[in-house]
DNA sequence: ATCGGTGCAGAATCTTATTCGGTCCCGTTG
DNA sequence: CAACGGGACCGAATAAGATTCTGCACCGAT
C-alpha cells in the first residue's frame, strides 16, 4: 500500500472535474480543459501536474483493441494459491504482470486469490499460459478460466 | 460484432510499434512518436488517425485512481442472468455500464454471464448496487461479489 | 513504358504547452 | 491593526508541438 487519499480535501471540485474530463478524453488539450473547468491554462497545467504527483492520475494510455494487435482471445482466469505459499503471492503476481498477455491483475477476496485478465493470439497460447505459468507452478493450487466474449468500459 | 481485423495485414510493424508506444504512454507527442518509429511527424499523424478510424485505438484515457475520486471500495461482481431472459442481457448490461460506479463489463463464459468491475464510495453503496440494480431485478438469477484488494495493470 | 493510386517527407503555418513575473487573498506575527 | 509570508492564480511571452499542404517516389495494372 503506497500513499492513498489520506486527505481527500486535497482535491477540490475543480480537480474532480479535471479528473472526470481526462478519464473520458485523455487527450483533451490543456487549453480546452482550462476553459471547461473555468481556470487559466497555466493554472490548469500546475493542477494536472500535481494530480499526477499525488497519484490521482496514474498515467495516460491509449485504449488499444487487443484483437488488432494479434490477440483476439481474451479470458479471465481465477487463480487460487496454495495455502502454504500465500506469502509469495506478491512476487508471483508481479512476475505474472510481466507476461505480455496479461492486461490486469485483480487481487480479490473469495475462493480465489486473484483474477488475471489476459489476451492471447489463440486458445493454444491461452492454454500455454495456464499450464506453464499457472498450474505448472508449485504455487498455484487451482485455476478457473472464463472466456471473455466482449469487454466494455463503463461510462 | 462491429468491424474487426478482417485484414490483419492492414497493420504493418510500424503501426504495431505505434500502438505499443501509445498503450504505454498515451500522451507521447506525435513528434517523439514519429522519431521513435522512424517516420516523419506528418506521416505519423495520418497513421494514428487511421488507427483510430479503424478502431485499433478505441480512445485515450487518463488512468484515474478510484480511491482519489471518492471510490475506495472496488469489487468484481459475477452476475448470472435468469435463463428465461438471456436475450435481454445486451440492453441490461448496457444500462449497467451507465452506472457511475461501473468501470468494466466483461461478458464471459462459465456459470456466470458477466463480470462487473465496480468502484464505490463505501460498502453501503456497493450493497445498494447489488440489491437494487442486480438482485432486485427480475433479470438476475444470482450474483457473487469479490472485493478487490488491489488492481494492477499489466506491462 | 505510361498511367493512376498510395504513402511519405519536409517546409510552412497555426495551435497548444509551458514558463515567468506579478497580483491577490488569507492566515500569522509583531 | 498593519506588515509579513505563503500559496494559488492569472495573463503575456516564449517554446514546443500539431496539422496542413505540396511535391516526390514507389508500385501495380494497363
Task: Render pLDDT for A79-110 as a digit per residue (tens, 0 to 9).
Answer: 999 999 999 999 999 999 999 999 999 999 99
Domain boundaries, chain B: 9-54, 66-148
Contact status, residue B47 vs residue B14, Cβ threshold 8 Å = yes
Backbone torsions φ then ψ of A101, nearest 5 degrees: -70, -25
CA of A41 to C1' of D10 (A): 9
SS3 A29: coil
Closest nucleotide (CA of B27 to C1')? D17
pLDDT (0 to 100) of residue A47: 97
| A39: CB within 7 A of chain C nucleic strand | no
* Measured distance CA(B133)–CA(B135) in Å, rounded: 7
A59: left (phi over 0), alpha (psi -120 to 50) or beta: left
pTM of the entire predicted model: 0.91
Question: pLDDT tens digits for A106-155?
Answer: 999 999 999 999 999 999 999 999 999 999 999 999 999 999 999 999 98
What percent of chain A has a predicted confidence (pLDDT) above 90?
Answer: 93
pLDDT (0 to 100) of residue B1: 46
Contact status, residue B151 vs residue A117, Cβ threshold 8 Å = no
Specify the CATH number of the domain B9-54: 1.10.10.10
Largest CA distance in chain B: 57
Please determine, for residue A6, whether its predicted confidence score (pLDDT) is greater than 90. no
Residue ranges of chain B whose pLDDT lies below 50: 1-6, 8
- Euclidean distance between the first and the last CA atom of chain B, given in angstroms as a whole number: 28
Nine cell digits for residue A121: 493470439
The bases of strand D with some atom under 7 A from any protein CB are: 8-12, 16-21
Name the pLDDT band for A7 (thresholds 50, 70, 90): low
* Measured distance CA(A48)–CA(A22) in Å, rounded: 10
Tell me the fold of B66-148.
Answer: Alpha-Beta Plaits (3.30.70)
Tell me the fold of A10-54.
Answer: Arc Repressor Mutant, subunit A (1.10.10)
In this structure, the number of other CB atoms found within 10 A of the CB of residue B81 comes to 20
Amino acid at each position: 500500500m503506497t500513499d492513498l487519499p489520506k486527505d481527500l480535501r486535497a482535491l477540490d471540485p475543480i480537480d474532480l472535474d479535471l479528473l472526470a474530463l481526462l478519464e473520458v478524453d485523455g487527450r483533451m488539450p490543456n487549453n480546452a480543459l482550462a476553459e471547461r473547468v473555468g481556470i487559466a491554462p497555466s493554472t490548469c497545467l500546475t493542477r494536472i501536474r500535481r494530480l499526477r504527483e499525488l497519484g490521482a492520475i496514474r498515467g495516460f494510455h491509449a485504449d488499444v483493441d487487443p484483437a488488432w494487435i494479434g490477440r483476439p482471445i481474451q479470458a479471465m482466469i481465477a487463480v487460487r494459491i496454495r495455502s502454504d505459499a500465500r506469502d509469495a503471492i506478491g512476487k508471483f503476481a508481479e512476475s505474472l504482470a510481466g507476461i505480455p498477455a496479461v492486461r490486469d491483475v485483480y487481487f480479490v477476496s473469495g475462493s480465489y486469490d486473484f483474477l488475471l485478465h489476459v489476451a492471447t493470439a489463440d486458445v493454444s497460447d491461452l492454454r500455454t499460459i495456464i499450464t506453464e505459468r499457472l498450474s505448472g507452478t508449485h504455487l498455484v493450487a487451482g485455476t478457473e478460466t472464463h472466456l471473455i466474449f466482449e469487454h466494455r468500459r463503463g461510462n
